[in-house]
Chain A
Amino acid sequence: MTNPESCRYAKSHEWVCLEGDGAVVGLSDHAQKEITDVVFVELPKVGRKVGQGEAVAVVESVKAAFDFYAPVSGEVCAVNEELSSNPALVNQSPHDKGWFFKLKPSVPGEARQLMDHAAYQEFLKTAAH
């Protein structure tokens, strides 16, 4: 379980949580509520090198598809295989069982430039959507 309050957030609603020299990423609670009914998640392959802000995964609801952008740069070292059989975990447990993938960050300090939990909550209040 990643603690939502210790995660960092991108404006495109992905969270990243640093764990040792690795990082876990997923979709924010706010975003999963907006999307509702996640029925499919396409994840990147292990070993893929991704750049911050790169579209690396696709989240699909019944109605629409949404790009998932890597919140930090790095190499994908594990993906949440559970999501292929049970994509609803993104809705049920966005910060725990619904994580997307783990990566080894390649650019130190990138995560710290993202919003912290308080700033993200403030962002949600002011963001037009």
Chain B
Amino acid sequence: MGMNTAEAARRTALYGLHRSAGGKMVDFHGWELPVQYSSVMREHHAVRRACGIFDVSHMGQVEITGPDALAFLQKVNSNDAARLQDGGAMYSHLLNERGGVVDDVIFSRLGPKRFFMVVNAATADKDFAWLLKQAEGLDVEVENRSDYFGMIAVQGPLAARILSDIVPEAEPLKRFGALELELYGRDALITRTGYTGEDGFEVIVPNEISPRIWETLRASGASYGLLPCGLGARDTLRLEAGYLLYGSDIDNEHTPLEAGYGWVVKFSKEDFIGKAALEKQKREGLRRKLLGLRLSERGVPRAGAPVRFGEEQMGVLCSATFSPTLQAGIGVGYLSQPGLAAGAKVSVELHGRRIPAEIVPVPFYKSKSLGDKK
């Protein structure tokens, strides 16, 4: 889907605060958001070592309620919504009939007939139309709440300490726990989730109170080393952690199996959209797979760079960066030899030169703050 560039960029409720804090604003899928405040490196390290906060208000929110809410979620999700208890959240993929990814989402179960889904910004409108279509004939209400809610991600090994100074109820939340509560007199939802590979929370609140929460977090987190972080650090953090970026790493043409996310596909559950296509793909074997590589020399791989095994081009990188944590170039790409093992020597083309690289396991980085929890 092309973006309508004539359309004015949308701004979140925190726009003014970003500007006054020196945020360098860029266009992100039609949203005007900070790519960085001071430095991608500093912000990245703040999240790995202490805490960072991110404005993710551009993300979409969908409320799903009614007697058929669970049946509806089971139909549209590759993951098994029946495994959720009240107060639990789950990462999942929405698939098309071909097994391609419509979006990757996190949804929470707030009650037996009440769920809350967070979707990507770039796909929010497409998702919502698609979800409405899939809800036809079911006794379920699907409501787009994206304009009403803002969202702040609080991420890092000190996130729990900093957030619970302000919201003590958040402290006992487990990884992928979800808690409804009242903040400043408004209904809010906090989930212990994130997109950085560190412990952390996503705080979903009505837009009218999100600036207050942002400022309170900044003030009380400053002495812990908390920094406001932009899209630049968000991308380096998520890639180190092996998280997918919709539109770059997954889309309608790539399946979760190809992306190395087979664990979000629960073949054991009853039918869901895309199941038959994935069963077929599993039977026949993969022809390409998203693999990670690390440059053996210093350099910065970029999306689109060709990857070679010997002389043969096996694919191109779909996400790549310089990893601030590993101090090395890293990237992922769909390669035509899915069985290529860690340690295999490949090369990446940069500025017309072939730089040696090695296939490595993804994630590239695992945080101690998450322990063994997924």
Contact = CB atoms under 8 A, between A and B. Distances in A.
Given A39-B322, A40-B322, A42-B351, A61 B298 contact: no
A63 B36 CA distance: 10
A62 B40 contact: yes
A84 interface: yes
Contacts of A60: 299-300, 322
Nearest to B328: A39
Given A36-B39, A37-B39, A62 B302 contact: no
Interface of A: 36-37, 39-40, 42, 58, 60-63, 65, 84-85, 87
Contacts of A42: 299, 351
A37 B41 contact: yes
Interface residues of B, number: 17
A39 B299 CA distance: 8
B232 interface: yes
A58 B39 CA distance: 20
25 contacts: A36-B36, A36-B38, A36-B39, A36-B41, A37-B39, A37-B40, A37-B41, A39-B300, A40-B298, A40-B299, A58-B351, A60-B299, A60-B300, A60-B322, A61-B40, A62-B40, A62-B236, A62-B321, A62-B322, A63-B40, A65-B302, A65-B351, A84-B298, A85-B298, A87-B298
Interface in B247-300: 298-300
Nearest to A39: B322
A87 B36 CA distance: 20
Contacts, number: 40
Contacts of B66: none
B324 interface: yes
B62 interface: no
A36 B40 CA distance: 8
Nearest to B42: A37
Contacts of B329: 40
Contacts of B47: none
Interface of B: 35-36, 38-41, 232, 236, 298-300, 302, 321-322, 324, 329, 351
Nearest to B40: A62
Given A60-B322, A62-B232, A62-B300, 20 more contacts: A36-B36, A36-B38, A37-B39, A39-B300, A39-B322, A40-B298, A40-B300, A40-B322, A42-B351, A60-B300, A61-B40, A62-B41, A62-B236, A62-B321, A62-B324, A63-B35, A63-B40, A63-B232, A85-B298, A87-B298
Q: Which 9 A-B pairs have the closest CB atoms?
A: A60-B300, A39-B322, A37-B41, A62-B40, A40-B300, A36-B39, A37-B39, A62-B322, A37-B40
A53 B259 CA distance: 43
A96 B336 CA distance: 47
Contacts of A36: 36, 38-41
A58, A62, A87 pick with most chain B CB within 10 angstroms:
A62
Contacts of A40: 298-300, 322, 329
A85 B298 CA distance: 8
Nearest to A40: B300
Nearest to B26: A63
Contacts of B321: 62
A61 B298 CA distance: 13
Contacts of B38: 36
A40 to B, nearest CB: 5
Contacts of A63: 35, 40, 232
Contacts of B35: 63
A27 B40 CA distance: 20
A42 B300 CA distance: 11
Contacts of B40: 36-37, 61-63
B246 to A, nearest CB: 19
B141 to A, nearest CB: 41
Contacts of A65: 300, 302, 351
Nearest to B24: A36
A84 B35 CA distance: 26
A60 B320 CA distance: 13
Contacts of B232: 62-63
A6 to B, nearest CB: 29
Nearest to A67: B351
A113 B225 CA distance: 47
Nearest to A61: B40
Contacts of A61: 40
A62 B35 CA distance: 11
